[in-house]
Amino acid sequence: MRRLFPLIAALAGATLAIAVAACGSSSPAAPAGLVISGPGLQSSASPWKPEYAHLSQRVKEMGLPPTGNEKFHIHAALHIYKDGLLIPVPADVGIITSSGFETSLHTHDVTGTIHMEAPHPFKFTLGDFFKVWGVALGPEQVGNLHGYGGDKLHFYVNGHKLANPAAYVLRRGDNIAIGYGPVNSFPHAPNKQILEEVEKGTGGFGCSTKPGGKAKSCSIRPSTSTTGGTSTTGTTTTSTTKQ
């Protein structure tokens, strides 16, 4: 019996160690996936402003299509939450109004509406948008937010889990939610009324292109007024691409 005591003690210790390790690791391992890279990507605390200093370099790396003569024109919505509170997606991501520089993937306001405009169909990804924005993104990182699952990062698109966010190809009307914190602390399919209005041309800049229809370009150009600011162009394009 005395010989059994060391064995029993060893087994009990091993069981306790496993239990402690399990309790101390509430987040599962993140799935493999794309981590975007490039100069100027922010890994600081939110909110994140558009990073312009290295924007032209990052756009060149991505090979985004040029703006102008938009025949491919869709929108998606992006919502980011930390502990249940919304982190704003800023206006003018991908647009430098002072110089007139504009990318084909951009925002105009703080609603989280992503505009994708190009002369031809193009597979814009969520990683492309974050790279234009200048914010680090991977399966277990958004800016300075790290970790996956548990009380860390969660990614959803149209209410469904998204395992490889940076590689996800954005589609017309996509509703993307990223949450940092408990999985029930944020909506997985946020209200997308604004996105639907933009798609119909009744909200936002009223510049949506419906399949087979006409709409104004969302392009922003520097204002010629003495008060500064920006103004939308009034150009009209015809969509030839079905989504």
Q: Let me know: does 76 contact 170? Beta carbons within 8 Å.
A: yes
| pLDDT, tens digit, 9 for 90 and up, residues 92-116 | 999 999 999 999 999 999 999 999 9
pLDDT on residue 205: 52
Taking the C-alpha atoms of residue 223 and residue 100, their distance in angstroms, rounded to an integer, is 10
| pLDDT, tens digit, 9 for 90 and up, residues 182-217 | 999 999 999 999 999 998 887 655 454 444 444 444
Taking the C-alpha atoms of residue 179 and residue 186, their distance in angstroms, rounded to an integer, is 6
pLDDT on residue 134: 98
Place of tokens 């392009």: 219
| pLDDT, tens digit, 9 for 90 and up, residues 3-31 | 544 444 444 454 444 444 444 445 678 77
Taking the C-alpha atoms of residue 104 and residue 130, their distance in angstroms, rounded to an integer, is 13
| pLDDT, tens digit, 9 for 90 and up, residues 147-189 | 999 999 999 999 999 999 999 999 999 999 999 999 999 999 9
Q: Kindly write down the DSSP assignment for every residue of 39-71, as one continuous string.
A: TT-B-SSSS-----TTHHHHHHHHTPPPSSS--
How many CA atoms are closer than 13 Å to the CA of 26, on its beta-carbon side?
Answer: 7
pLDDT on residue 47: 97
pLDDT > 90 fraction of the chain, expressed in percent and rounded:
66
Q: Which tokens go with 188?
A: 């997985």
Q: Which tokens go with 218?
A: 């969302």
List residues bridging with 161 in a β-sheet: 156
pLDDT at 241 over 50: no
Domain boundaries of the chain, sorted by first residue: 55-238
Task: Please give the backbone phi and psi of residue 129, each rounded to the nearest 5 degrees, phi first.
Answer: -65, -45
pLDDT on residue 20: 41
Which band of pLDDT confidence, cut at 50, 70 and 90, is reported for residue 70? confident
Taking the C-alpha atoms of residue 134 and residue 92, their distance in angstroms, rounded to an integer, is 12
The residue length of the chain stands at: 243
Three-class SS of residue 32? coil
**Looking at residues 49-72, what average pLDDT do you find?**
93
pLDDT at 127 over 50: yes
pLDDT on residue 21: 43
